[in-house]
């Protein structure tokens, strides 16, 4: 037998309290904002050379830029995982003086103009930089205007996405599982890789996807720190910039590839975003 609860007097569901017709003063700006965001994408799709798309995707310069972008973004994501996950764990689980300052420093690349980030990398890791001079004189290692420089530039701008995502997952994780493992005699390392990592695996995956997408689309820090040399440092965003002056159709093709990657990233993260709303 189904029991019916009486609604408390003076209370109504949120849907009942909302007006039946949305105010046009909000709807019109919302539609204008949507059109502003969609119109550039529509322009890209309409002007795309669909009839010659396959041929242009097979051109050597396009394939080389695509290969370099995929490899460098993947390597940058690996570095972000290597350093970012422990950093996120420290920020989430280890109280220490200056934690807020460290967290602010971690997020600086999010708001720092990418070109400024490239200049900062040059001053730090260039041949005359703070650490670059020592690396060059001691080990003969130079990063500017090399493929390794591309990876470092992408790592610098992408790591905050991973750290923020993983730290949020760690703070939301249930500590009782880790406490139970500790009472059973598990070491801290065992708890970390057997309990903590599986708990926050979705957050790590989401952060890695965002990190990879941000690295793939990086432009300012890359061109400032690594240059724009075809086959060595010219990633897809840099190739788009160069092709706009010489071959606009190739620039559109490369832009379509980056757009497709962005859509795939949104599709991969959709379930996580929907589950948190």
3 state SS of 129: coil
Per residue of the chain (277 residues), what is the pLDDT tens digit? 444 455 555 555 554 455 567 788 888 899 999 999 888 888 888 888 887 777 777 778 888 888 899 999 999 999 999 999 999 999 998 888 988 999 999 999 988 998 999 999 999 998 888 898 998 888 888 899 999 999 999 999 999 999 999 999 998 888 888 888 888 888 888 888 888 888 899 889 989 988 998 999 899 999 999 988 888 898 989 988 888 888 788 888 888 888 888 788 777 766 655 454 4
Alpha helices in the chain (DSSP H): 14-17, 24-46, 53-57, 60-93, 99-111, 114-125, 132-139, 147-172, 175-183, 188-191, 197-199, 201-216, 220-225, 236-246, 248-275
- pLDDT number for residue 24: 81
* Tokens (6 digits) for 130: 């703070």
- pLDDT number for residue 266: 74
- pLDDT number for residue 8: 53
- pLDDT number for residue 273: 52
CA-nearest of 108, 52, 67, 79 to 248 is: 52
- pLDDT number for residue 58: 78
CATH number for 57-275: choose from 1.10.3720.10, 1.10.1240.10, 1.10.390.10, 1.10.1060.10: 1.10.3720.10
The 3-state secondary structure of 164-232, one letter per residue: HHHHHHHHHCCHHHHHHHHHCCCCHHHHHHHHHHHHCHHHHHHHHHHHHHHHHCCCHHHHHHCCCCCCC
In angstroms, the CA 130 to CA 100 distance is 25
State the Cα torsion 83-88-94-95 to the nearest 10°.
120
In angstroms, the CA 77 to CA 112 distance is 19
């Amino acid at each position: 037998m189904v029991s019916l609860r009486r609604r408390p007097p003076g209370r109504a569901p949120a849907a009942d309290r909302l007006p039946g017709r949305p105010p046009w003063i909000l709807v019109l700006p919302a539609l204008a904002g949507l059109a502003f965001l969609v119109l550039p994408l529509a322009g890209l799709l309409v002007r795309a050379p669909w009839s010659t798309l396959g041929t242009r995707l097979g051109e050597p310069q396009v394939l080389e830029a695509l290969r370099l972008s995929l490899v460098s973004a993947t390597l940058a994501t690996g570095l972000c995982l290597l350093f970012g996950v422990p950093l996120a764990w420290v920020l989430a689980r280890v109280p220490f003086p200056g934690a807020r300052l460290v967290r602010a420093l971690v997020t600086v690349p999010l708001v720092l103009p990418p070109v400024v980030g490239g200049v900062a990398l040059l001053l730090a890791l260039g041949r005359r930089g703070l650490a670059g001079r020592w690396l060059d004189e001691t080990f003969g290692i130079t990063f500017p205007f090399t493929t390794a420089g591309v990876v470092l530039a992408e790592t610098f701008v992408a790591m905050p996405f991973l750290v923020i995502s993983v730290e949020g997952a760690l703070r939301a994780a249930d500590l009782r599982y880790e406490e139970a493992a500790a009472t059973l005699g598990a070491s801290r390392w065992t708890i970390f890789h057997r309990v903590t990592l599986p708990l926050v695996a979705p957050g790590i995956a989401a952060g890695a996807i965002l990190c990879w997408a941000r690295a793939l689309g990086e432009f300012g820090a890359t061109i400032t720190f690594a240059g724009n040399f075809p086959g060595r440092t010219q990633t897809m965003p840099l190739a788009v910039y160069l092709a706009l002056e010489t071959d606009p159709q190739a620039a559109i093709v490369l832009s379509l590839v980056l757009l497709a990657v962005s859509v795939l990233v949104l599709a991969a993260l959709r379930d996580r975003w929907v589950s948190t709303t």
